Homo-oligomer: A and B are copies of this chain.
């Protein structure tokens, strides 16, 4: 597709589609990709947009061409994660959620705050780990909603999906859930919600950071206690 001036468009979308194709796995055991005309037809982008997108993947070393110009996929090099899965999740939450809390402090409506406090009460009253985590997750999501930025909410939900079935939950489940009731001190979430209600973004971000670190420290102590 080209615009009036003849410039191609949508190479970025073609690139995203090709990344999806690579992530979904190969068509042929030898790693050969479909030909450009086939890709063009199947993905619905212009030849030029596809060629440009393939140039990026070639530069990144993810695809290469043989001497006959046929395309092949390189398996991406496995990157050693610098952190354990649990550490990676904590790191990600510590980078994203204080930013969301700061925006929520600027934008939360009384109804948002009422719902946050309701979640905190229900979490406190929960009788098992499943219910506790459910209301905890709902509370953290309400903070992301109150931040009122659709792109950041999408980012929060992608991170939450990456956490589902993660090592963190597995480690907690291996521990006695009755001990896990100590993970949130009684006041932790109330303190966090008060900071958001206070309307000061810096204070809200700091409260979120402190909250996540406290939970992580208690979880680590619990999991280590179990391992001993």
Contacts and interface: CB of A to CB of B under 8 A. Distances in A.
State the number of copies, please.
Answer: 2
Q: Name the prevailing secondary structure of the A interface residues.
A: helix
A227 interface: no
Interface residues of A, number: 66
Contacts of A59: 115, 118-119, 122, 138
Contact of A159 (B91, B118, B130, B155): B155
A148 interface: yes
A83 interface: yes
B134 A52 contact: yes
Contact of A155 (B3, B11, B92, B149): B92
A16 B3 CA distance: 40
A16 B141 CA distance: 11
10 contacts: A7-B130, A7-B177, A9-B173, A11-B130, A15-B138, A59-B138, A79-B145, A96-B155, A151-B159, A154-B158
